[in-house]
Amino acid sequence: MSKHDVDYTLYLVTDSSPNYLRGRDLCQVVEEALRGDVTVVQYRDKTSDTGVLVSTARKLHEITKKYKVPLLINDRVDVALAVGCEGVHIGQDDLDLHTARKILGEDAIIGVTVSNLAEVETAVKWGADYLGIGTVFATPTKQNTKSIIGVEGLQEILLKIETEKWPVKTVCIGGINESNVGRVVWQSTANGRSLDGVAVVSAIMAAETPEWAANRLYKLIKTRKTPFANALATSKQQKRSPQELLALVPDIIKAVHTRKPLSHNMTNLVVQNFAANVALSVGASPIMANYGEEAADLAKLGGALVINMGTVTPDGLKNYLKALKAYNDVGLPVVFDPVGAGATAVRRSAVKTIFGGGYVDVLKGNQSEILSCVPGGSNIQQRGVDSGSDGQNLQELASAIKELAKLRKHIVVMTGKTDLVSAGETVFAIENGHEYLGMVTGTGCCLGTTISAMVAAHPNDKLSAVIAGTVYYGIAAEIAAEREDVKGPGTFVPAFIDELHNVRKATVKGHLEWFKRAKVSVIS
């Protein structure tokens, strides 16, 4: 087989740890995995002496040749030469690629571990046949990882490879298993560039039945099967006119009123009371629960989760991840508000961790926060949680969130003087609202609460639900600000809660005078 014809779909990295093998023979486990459609095997053993490595590699090579699958040796070029196998995989701290190529020749397969763009560029320059991109998620099988890149980092690398039209093959590695492989392959695709394969260790080596585990993983990778694909707005839904979308708003508000969906908010103490009252006013059933252990039970009640990153702590982040997994497991919507995402390194890291930890249906934030989620980050430095540069060109902002939504596969809501909403094809501009919303702490957070109620009640068309929630919220603010009893931001808050309630009640009765204020357009 030519090295150019290698199928990297399911790449097995061996591990001889007793807790994985549990008394089984390594070669036996590998052969079972090959029967389950493993397409590449890498023999990795960091502890045995050279004699044992050569002996075991020879046995493995006899097996892999029977299945017409290449065997690569981790790090040890000398062992690969002694065995006469197809190639090696080298890390950043191993023998350099240029020297390895001189020793092994042009026909050998040489893969390189990379975790950032500089390493990618160097590996491509020196002729790597494939890149092992990672570590995607934290894993106990590799202790000296330089960084955890998450799905965000994986996608950033794929985007660079596609942009430069580099012909190198790619596999990702690190914490990949049956529960996340479909999402990782599906969500990491960047502008048409997909992974060529996925490398796994424990998901096969520690499996009770390696053949079954490998076959299951292979099918998930090939089909890119993930339930989260159903969360996306379809192309047909995205091409609707503003008038078609607005026609759905009253019915969505009525659906919230009728169903009273749970709005599970994980938010900071400053906002909790306000968010709970907003949820009640729009017709939802609020619960403010920041302890992740509760999420599995709460997710059984239906509804939606709001992760509001107002206060970032290590324990808080763990709780967010537990809740995110619980709602992902049952297929319920998640709204993520990356509060202050661009302000500190800690917050930027937390955002990456949350994106890596599960799927987010709706990403909502102000301009600086959303731009900080763009692959490669943003140069805008936030002062705090204020909305940043309202003077930013609207067309440029629209282009940015359209690309972000397309890449990340979220519905993206960027709040500001004009709110922008996109699911990746069309950008809708919503010009409802009032300046008092920007003068009261927590109004942005509570928009997330409102959106959560809408997507929970209207889950099969989340784009229209997001637009409905944003329009409803903005118009209620306008009506509240015009009341005679409102003298400023302080008196605005109770009036705003009143009007959220009043608009809902009026809508249920079929009184839609308020709805004439709706201002939704498309930014081409």
Q: Do 30 and 106 fall into the same domain?
A: yes
- Give me the number of domains the chain comprises: 2
Task: Tell me how crowded residue 164 is: count the other CB atoms within 10 A of its CB.
Answer: 12
pLDDT of 145 reads 47
pLDDT of 378 reads 52
Least confident residue range of 218-222, 343-347, 429-433: 343-347
∠ CA 299-303-307, rounded to 5°: 75
CA atoms within 13 A on the CB side of 324: 25
Integer-rounded Cα radius of gyration of the chain: 26
Q: Do 218 and 263 fall into the same domain?
A: no
The enclosing domain of 43 has a CATH number of 3.20.20.70
Q: CA-CA distances (angstroms) from residue 336 to 447, 448, 498?
A: 11, 8, 26
Q: What is the dihedral of CA 273, 278, 284, 288, to 10 degrees?
A: -20
Tell me the average pLDDT across 56-71. Answer: 98
More confident residue, 478 or 137: 478
Q: Do 219 and 266 fall into the same domain?
A: no
Tell me the average pLDDT across 470-476. Answer: 98
> Quick check: is 239 in a domain?
no
Q: Do 221 and 263 fall into the same domain?
A: no
| Cα–Cα distance measured from residue 340 to residue 478, given in angstroms and rounded to the nearest whole number | 26
> Quick check: is 436 in a domain?
yes
Range of the domain at 423: 256-379+392-523
pLDDT of 377 reads 60
Residue 390 has pLDDT above 70, yes or no: no
Query: Which of 144-148, 178-182, 482-486 is most confident?
Result: 482-486
> Quick check: is 39 in a domain?
yes
Residue 353 has pLDDT above 90, yes or no: no
> Quick check: is 244 in a domain?
no
More confident residue, 374 or 404: 404
Catalytic site positions: 445
Q: Do 180 and 298 fall into the same domain?
A: no
Q: What percent of the chain has pLDDT over 90?
A: 79
Residue 384 has pLDDT above 50, yes or no: no
Q: Omega before 135 cis (within 30°)?
A: yes
Bridge partner list, 173: 199
Amino acid letter, 166? W
Residue 97 has pLDDT above 50, yes or no: yes
Q: Do 164 and 262 fall into the same domain?
A: no
pLDDT of 387 reads 44
Q: Do 81 and 131 fall into the same domain?
A: yes
Residue 480 confidence class, pLDDT cut points 50, 70, 90: very high
Q: Do 16 and 83 fall into the same domain?
A: yes
Tell me the average pLDDT across 356-382. Answer: 80
CB–CB of 76/105 below 8 Å? no
Last residue of a domain, one of 184, 215, 230: 230
Give 260-279 pLDDT, tens digit per residue. 999 999 998 889 999 999 99
pLDDT of 146 reads 54
> Quick check: is 241 in a domain?
no
Last residue of a domain, one of 230, 264, 285: 230
| Cα–Cα distance measured from residue 313 to residue 338, given in angstroms and rounded to the nearest whole number | 14
Residue 139 has pLDDT above 80, yes or no: no
> Quick check: is 500 in a domain?
yes
Q: Do 268 and 212 fall into the same domain?
A: no
> Quick check: is 275 in a domain?
yes
Q: Do 292 and 339 fall into the same domain?
A: yes
Mean pLDDT of the chain: 92
Give the distance, in angstroms, between the CA of residue 338 and the centroid of all CA atoms in the same chain.
Answer: 13
> Quick check: is 491 in a domain?
yes
What's the predicted TM-score (pTM) here? 0.86
Residue 290 confidence class, pLDDT cut points 50, 70, 90: very high
Residue 382 has pLDDT above 50, yes or no: no
Residue 391 has pLDDT above 70, yes or no: no
Nearest to 264 by CA among 300, 223, 218: 300
pLDDT of 90 reads 97
Q: Do 292 and 189 fall into the same domain?
A: no
The enclosing domain of 472 has a CATH number of 3.40.1190.20
Give 206-224 pLDDT, tens digit per residue. 999 999 999 999 999 998 7
Residue 434 has pLDDT above 90, yes or no: yes
Q: Do 350 and 487 fall into the same domain?
A: yes
Residue 466 confidence class, pLDDT cut points 50, 70, 90: very high
